[in-house]
Chains A and B, each alone.
Chain A
């Protein structure tokens, strides 16, 4: 490590990256020296995240040279060697954390990924949580942490392996000012402790730029300038970073940017009310998201909700829109109580939610058009309205582009355009500018001011940007579900005697915390205690690591345990299905519904029919009047067979002249009509035999006897054959469905980054994820086995060991199949649905459960043998009924193991260990 300390930690040249047809990076060349805090600033969508991802080794390099800590990242082996010396914290608060896991479990997981032993992990967790003030909350699930705490936890996870290069992608976005302040203090202490630590961070807050040693300004995939703050100020002749950045931009990008001036409200403060909230409270279980929030907003006002992520802003707004019922309290919009069913009220309201919630697959025009129509604008006015909005929100150039392909700033403009398409009187905007660069934010606010001042629209906006809060007419400071203060920005500042709104907010927060006597106490202690963990020797493990595999298995297992609903479905579902199908799937034909068309009506015919009525297989229905009625009743499916006695039946019987009884069987269900034919024939012969009317028909007359031996199932009862088959069915369908979302869900939610950014190998990841599901499936196997033995009383003729060995191999294959599907499917739907389709057909129809595999033909037979179900069906049925033991089943074991291995290897090939 010492040998790199002098040289640059990062050296890039000619780095280009094309993403979705756009040049995310365009020939970037950069050198960063060690031990410095480097800031990456620039608008959204200029390639900052891509650049950080490439340096962290989580993204593939398309073209150019990337050298990090003296290693060429293009070489897989070099990347593997260096990756554990780098730490990466992706954008989005806690996006790579596991929400249902506690603080300790999250940290423990990361520690294991970096090969730390128990003692080291315990020590590091204790040190890091003490240093960041998380120590009192180690058992709290990550999803119940506030934004600031999530950010600290993310940082702790990044620091657990004591990296030499720390890469932070917008670490402070969406965090309350106090937490932000603490964060930078923490960074300072970290650097004092570890002077050789290099930190590279991007930020959306220009006012933070001054904290960096070096700044790198980026725009449109290129580096505009790099240097210290003083250097950059000198170069541009500007004094604050925001202006410096604007000055650095090429002329055409500046787009006539000017300082935003907020015109005063023309109308005085106390107009009629647009929104009134009184004592709004919302609880989720025992967690109180919003507690007794009251405020009122006047018509035409811009009312700001200032607070960090998770402070309750979103929940409050959702209650006001009627999306979420309030647990307590009440709210009125335009003097009408908020009512989820009041569509008239909703027409006067425009809403823009925190995340982009339009349809990404639709174009800009289609999105506008859809909403215009849903808001019932007259059809003839729609094109003009779309053109007007496209003009005003600068969307004309991208009008036919798909919304999801647009940069975030443009999407936000589109969302606003959609929110105002019906000219609402009230706009509720939930963090509309989160993640948007300063220039785009100013443009956005210009629109808002126009709406407010020119059109008198009431605007209720939430934000965590102080400079935006300054522009509001009135503000409400929210923290931890409660309103700390309310008033005009000037009022709030003067009440705390603070110079800036940020200082005022911090002062309020410290007060509030002091009143509640929690959290910040720990924070303060952390400030007093500058001890941060010293460098530990790390265990370098680049090969396959069982410890990492176990880390994934443990984590996945913990996540399943925390999701009682999923656990219940996984364990009780099969039990219920076993009961339903075990009793339900039966080939035993009885109670055959028959009706008689008796043309004879003699005692002889009645005697004959008595034989049918007396049989347990048959169940008599109302007699038939004529042939037409027979057809009708057969066609309706209520009749399985119609018996037609010809005229002269009685005479024929006694006189011996030929007469024929007609049986018309419903042939719609072929195997059933076959069986019915057999039973009908049996009763008919039985009758003749009993009467001695047909000497040739009785078996006694034949020179040969037939002895039938029902093997394996002497009583020939469906349940003996079906229960082992259903066991097979349940051991593939449920486990495969469970694992099918395994990988694709991590992709959608973002925690897949941990696979990219840590030394984890694909095999460790896949096997680790698979193990808990194998365990769960085996638990399910045990329950189903007990049911088979004691509820359905199917005796196990073969060996328990033989069956269990097969079951273990089979669930490895079935969970492996789900994971395989998950590695290449793009969405969770496709993965669930695809797995169901791929596995259900060979399992139900081609496995031997309903029809012997030996009787299948064509692709059905190939698919039968080409899928694990048929092989385990043989193990299951063989073990239960045929008395087969381990020695008889070796081929099945071999094939099942081969399936498991093949699914695993294929998954490994298809799994990406780096982002594209």
Chain B
């Protein structure tokens, strides 16, 4: 294998990419708007939850209960009637409805322990649980404070101090923005590289390369480095300018380690793209193969929902996906500031899986040329 060949062919690859303005536009879109919009708009935890209050008491206590629904956790609560609850919840307008019964204050002061109802749309999984825990606490504490005249309570014998390491204010924008980078890198890495190979096959240029004194490994590595480099630069730009700059998300770890990990991951994911391209005969087949692979790898990587909530068996299966390891790597590096000494196992796994994908693709590479016959 000669590096000069890999370099030359890679330059050609870059040239071809530059020549397709739609792809260039899509790459730019992927690393700007597609990161900003979800980061700013999507909250995976209790934040900006929609809530309505049915206040049948209209007392001071019920007002104070309504006031406990504060930003950033809740949107400004809306007052609705009992009769509207069903329709509003069916339409998904509110995730939480708090129903304060008539005579709440009176009953409470007389020690009758009236019940405030919290009605939750339990189909809003991520938000409902956290919201209920929050509401159950404040709706119990607030009357206590109110009826006892806001005096400081004698503290319990043993208190609890909960602190959040690495993201003390639990800001979801940190998480969303960085995970969106992973999302886009994964999609681009698979589709761009794999489709570039399919296109060469459909245009017959790959045959031309294979009759030259080039090895399949050289041709594949050229695709890996060229497409990988473009995505690496775009993703690093997204990290530094969009995520850290524009969205103000801190990077707890070193940028160098981020770039190193990204580079390793890109090798892995572009190799996978090539592997998928050797399995598909045509572009429609490649689309149908790569999009599901991307979706499963991304959705189950831990970038959306935590890995340990998955069934044990599935967790093990997902360990064959480089995305799973890379998500763990990037979360440790960017959020927790971990160094190479801590994250090298993730990096090694990503690299190893990439090497396997590359080896299988290499073994299949020549056969795929005969697939192009039609």
Complex interface bits, B175-195 against A, C-beta within 8 A gives 1, otherwise 0: 100000000000110011001
Complex interface bits, A94-115 against B, C-beta within 8 A gives 1, otherwise 0: 0000010000000000000000
Secondary structure dominating the interface of B: helix
User: Which of A322, A584, A668, A737 interacts with B291 by CB under 8 Å?
Assistant: A737
Closest B residue by C-beta to A695? B156
Residues of the A chain whose Cβ atoms lie less than 8 Å from the Cβ of B165: 631, 634, 664-667
Asked if A122 lies at the interface with its beta carbon under 8 angstroms from chain B, I say: no
Q: Is the CB of B23 within 8 A of A711?
A: no
Give complex CA distance A699, B213 in Å.
Answer: 79
Given A371-B212, A696-B156, A833-B26, A734 contacting B118 (CB threshold 8 A): no
Give complex CA distance A357, B164 in Å.
Answer: 59
Residues of the B chain whose Cβ atoms lie less than 8 Å from the Cβ of A718: 125, 309
Residues of the A chain whose Cβ atoms lie less than 8 Å from the Cβ of B170: 667, 670, 673-674
Residues of the A chain whose Cβ atoms lie less than 8 Å from the Cβ of B254: none
Give complex CA distance A346, B209 in Å.
Answer: 11
Q: Is the CB of B167 within 8 A of A837?
A: no
Chain B interface residue count, CB cutoff 8 Å, equals: 155
Complex interface bits, A724-743 against B, C-beta within 8 A gives 1, otherwise 0: 10000100011001101100
B48 to chain A, nearest CB (A): 5
Q: Is the CB of B37 within 8 A of A669?
A: no
Asked if A636 lies at the interface with its beta carbon under 8 angstroms from chain B, I say: yes
Asked if B149 lies at the interface with its beta carbon under 8 angstroms from chain A, I say: no
B125 to chain A, nearest CB (A): 4
Q: Is the CB of B283 within 8 A of A580?
A: no
Q: Is the CB of B37 within 8 A of A580?
A: no
Q: Is the CB of A854 within 8 A of B213?
A: no
Asked if A622 lies at the interface with its beta carbon under 8 angstroms from chain B, I say: no
B352 to chain A, nearest CB (A): 19
Residues of the A chain whose Cβ atoms lie less than 8 Å from the Cβ of B15: 359, 361-362, 366
Give complex CA distance A688, B71 in Å.
Answer: 30
B195 to chain A, nearest CB (A): 4
Residues of the A chain whose Cβ atoms lie less than 8 Å from the Cβ of B290: 832
Give complex CA distance A878, B294 in Å.
Answer: 28
User: Which of B121, B123, B168, B310 interacts with A667 by CB under 8 Å?
Assistant: B168
Chain B, range 222-281, C-beta contacts under 8 Å to A = 280-281
Q: Is the CB of B214 within 8 A of A374?
A: yes
Given A357-B205, A670-B44, A833-B191, A845 contacting B211 (CB threshold 8 A): no
User: Which of A658, A703, A709, A878 interacts with B117 by CB under 8 Å?
Assistant: A709
Q: Is the CB of A708 within 8 A of B47?
A: no
A788 to chain B, nearest CB (A): 14
Q: Is the CB of B29 within 8 A of A853?
A: no
B141 to chain A, nearest CB (A): 7
Q: Is the CB of A374 within 8 A of B9?
A: yes
Give complex CA distance A359, B198 in Å.
Answer: 14
Asked if B328 lies at the interface with its beta carbon under 8 angstroms from chain A, I say: yes
Closest B residue by C-beta to A642? B165
Given A675-B130, A704-B143, A711-B120, A663 contacting B162 (CB threshold 8 A): yes
Asked if B364 lies at the interface with its beta carbon under 8 angstroms from chain A, I say: no
Closest A residue by C-beta to B132? A708
Asked if A863 lies at the interface with its beta carbon under 8 angstroms from chain B, I say: yes
Given A637-B332, A833-B195, A729 contacting B23 (CB threshold 8 A): no
Q: Is the CB of A738 within 8 A of B122?
A: no
Complex interface bits, B73-113 against A, C-beta within 8 A gives 1, otherwise 0: 00100000000000001111111000000001000110101
Q: Is the CB of B42 within 8 A of A846?
A: yes
Asked if B318 lies at the interface with its beta carbon under 8 angstroms from chain A, I say: yes
Closest A residue by C-beta to B312? A591
User: Which of A712, A827, A850 interacts with B22 by CB under 8 Å?
Assistant: A827
Asked if A721 lies at the interface with its beta carbon under 8 angstroms from chain B, I say: yes
Given A374-B212, A706-B118, A852 contacting B50 (CB threshold 8 A): yes
A679 to chain B, nearest CB (A): 8
Given A359-B16, A665-B163, A851-B127, A636 contacting B23 (CB threshold 8 A): no
Give complex CA distance A677, B250 in Å.
Answer: 23
Q: Is the CB of B161 within 8 A of A704?
A: no
B310 to chain A, nearest CB (A): 5
Given A343-B213, A636-B332, A832-B283, A733 contacting B369 (CB threshold 8 A): no
Asked if A239 lies at the interface with its beta carbon under 8 angstroms from chain B, I say: no
A557 to chain B, nearest CB (A): 15
A780 to chain B, nearest CB (A): 12
Q: Is the CB of A585 within 8 A of B304?
A: yes
A408 to chain B, nearest CB (A): 15
Give complex CA distance A657, B322 in Å.
Answer: 51
Complex interface bits, B283-315 against A, C-beta within 8 A gives 1, otherwise 0: 111111111101110011000111011110010
Chain A interface residue count, CB cutoff 8 Å, equals: 164
Given A374-B212, A634-B336, A829-B196, A667 contacting B118 (CB threshold 8 A): no
Give complex CA distance A909, B283 in Å.
Answer: 25
Asked if A376 lies at the interface with its beta carbon under 8 angstroms from chain B, I say: yes
Q: Is the CB of A708 within 8 A of B158?
A: no
User: Which of B113, B215, B374 interacts with A99 by CB under 8 Å?
Assistant: B374
A347 to chain B, nearest CB (A): 5
Residues of the A chain whose Cβ atoms lie less than 8 Å from the Cβ of B366: 323, 340
Give complex CA distance A846, B34 in Å.
Answer: 12
Chain A, range 629-662, C-beta contacts under 8 Å to B = 631-632, 634-637, 649, 652-653, 656-662
Residues of the B chain whose Cβ atoms lie less than 8 Å from the Cβ of A347: 213
User: Which of B124, B211, B283 interacts with A828 by CB under 8 Å?
Assistant: B283
Q: Is the CB of B133 within 8 A of A669?
A: no
A734 to chain B, nearest CB (A): 7
Asked if A790 lies at the interface with its beta carbon under 8 angstroms from chain B, I say: no
Complex interface bits, B1-31 against A, C-beta within 8 A gives 1, otherwise 0: 0101100110010011001101100100110
Q: Is the CB of B43 within 8 A of A836?
A: no
Residues of the A chain whose Cβ atoms lie less than 8 Å from the Cβ of B108: 703-704
Closest A residue by C-beta to B47? A855
A249 to chain B, nearest CB (A): 32
Chain B, range 137-184, C-beta contacts under 8 Å to A = 137, 139-141, 143-144, 147, 153-168, 170-172, 174-175
Q: Is the CB of A851 within 8 A of B314?
A: no
Q: Is the CB of B38 within 8 A of A841?
A: yes
Q: Is the CB of B22 within 8 A of A826?
A: yes
Closest B residue by C-beta to A699? B140
Asked if B49 lies at the interface with its beta carbon under 8 angstroms from chain A, I say: yes
Q: Is the CB of B294 within 8 A of A836?
A: yes
Q: Is the CB of A852 within 8 A of B92?
A: yes
Stretch at the interface among A146-154, A505-513, A569-577: A569-577
A850 to chain B, nearest CB (A): 6
User: Which of A357, A584, A708 interacts with B208 by CB under 8 Å?
Assistant: A357
User: Which of A566, A663, A748 interacts with B163 by CB under 8 Å?
Assistant: A663
Asked if A373 lies at the interface with its beta carbon under 8 angstroms from chain B, I say: yes
Q: Is the CB of B205 within 8 A of A358?
A: yes
B8 to chain A, nearest CB (A): 5
Q: Is the CB of A653 within 8 A of B157?
A: yes
Given A374-B8, A670-B167, A729 contacting B214 (CB threshold 8 A): no
Stretch at the interface among A32-40, A271-279, A301-309, A348-356: A348-356
Give complex CA distance A344, B214 in Å.
Answer: 10
Asked if A21 lies at the interface with its beta carbon under 8 angstroms from chain B, I say: no
Closest A residue by C-beta to B18? A361
Given A376-B213, A709-B119, A584 contacting B318 (CB threshold 8 A): yes
User: Which of A353, A652, A721, A724 interacts with B124 by CB under 8 Å?
Assistant: A721
Q: Is the CB of B295 within 8 A of A863?
A: no
Given A585-B299, A688-B157, A829-B195, A671 contacting B203 (CB threshold 8 A): no
Given A580-B296, A703-B111, A708-B136, A734 contacting B288 (CB threshold 8 A): yes
Q: Which 6 A-B pairs have the closest CB atoms?
A: A860-B41, A667-B164, A671-B45, A713-B122, A678-B133, A694-B156
A-B contact pairs, 7 of them (CB 8 A): A347-B213, A362-B12, A671-B172, A709-B120, A828-B287, A829-B192, A853-B92
Give 13 new A-B contacts, CB below 8 A, not counting A569-B292, A718-B125, A834-B22.
Answer: A322-B210, A370-B12, A635-B337, A661-B158, A703-B108, A706-B136, A708-B117, A721-B122, A738-B284, A828-B283, A829-B283, A836-B291, A861-B41
